[in-house]
């Protein structure tokens, strides 16, 4: 095999580095989801009887809070799925390859957004559509 100037994938060592980053983020995301789920469950159980005026205000705040918790929980679930998919790409050795351009996504971007599947160029092209 001749030497190649263009790198088509990250080395196994580099993939292990990204795997460690992803596993750490995954643990935090699961912890956050658990906290949100507990908060959501506590809000559902918190039906204390107070003065009627406070009750109406409290219910409004609880509904908004429940919606916010549900939205944040949904975002955490999506983030967890994206991180788990990134782990699969690491196992397949396709991690860090832009799904549009086929080029390697720079390490700096992957360290910040470890579940990225698009290079910045591809993302910008997508946003212009």
- Kindly report the three-state secondary structure assignment for every residue of the chain: CCCCCCCCCCCHHHHHHHHHHHHHHHHHHHHHHHHHHHHHHHHHHCCCCCCHHHHHHHHHHHHHHHHHHHHHHHHHHHHHHHHHHHHHHHHHCCCCECCCCCCECCHHHHHHCCCCCCCHHHHHHHHHC
Q: Is residue 48 part of a domain?
A: yes
pLDDT (tens digit, 0 to 9) for every residue of the chain, 129 residues total?
444 456 789 999 999 999 999 999 999 999 999 988 887 777 655 545 455 555 555 555 666 677 888 899 999 999 999 999 999 999 999 999 999 999 999 999 999 999 999 999 998 988 886
Considering the entire predicted model, what is its pTM? 0.76
Q: Is residue 5 part of a domain?
A: no
Q: Is residue 6 part of a domain?
A: no
Q: Is residue 106 part of a domain?
A: yes
Q: Is residue 60 part of a domain?
A: yes
Query: For residue 18, what are the domain limits?
Result: 12-128
Q: Is residue 3 part of a domain?
A: no
CATH number at residue 52: 1.20.120.910
The number of domains in the chain is: 1
């Amino acid at each position: 095999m001749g030497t190649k100037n263009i790198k088509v994938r990250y080395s196994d060592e580099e993939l292990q580095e990204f795997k460690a980053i992803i596993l750490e983020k995954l643990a935090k995301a699961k912890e956050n989801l658990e906290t949100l789920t507990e908060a959501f469950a506590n809000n559902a159980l918190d039906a204390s009887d107070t003065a009627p005026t406070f009750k109406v205000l409290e219910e409004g705040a609880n509904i908004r809070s429940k919606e916010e918790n549900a939205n944040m929980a949904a975002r955490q679930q999506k983030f967890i799925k994206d991180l788990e998919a990134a782990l699969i790409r690491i196992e397949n050795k396709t991690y860090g390859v832009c799904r549009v351009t086929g080029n390697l996504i720079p390490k700096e971007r992957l360290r910040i957004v470890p579940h990225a599947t698009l290079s910045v160029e591809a993302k910008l092209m997508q946003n212009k559509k």
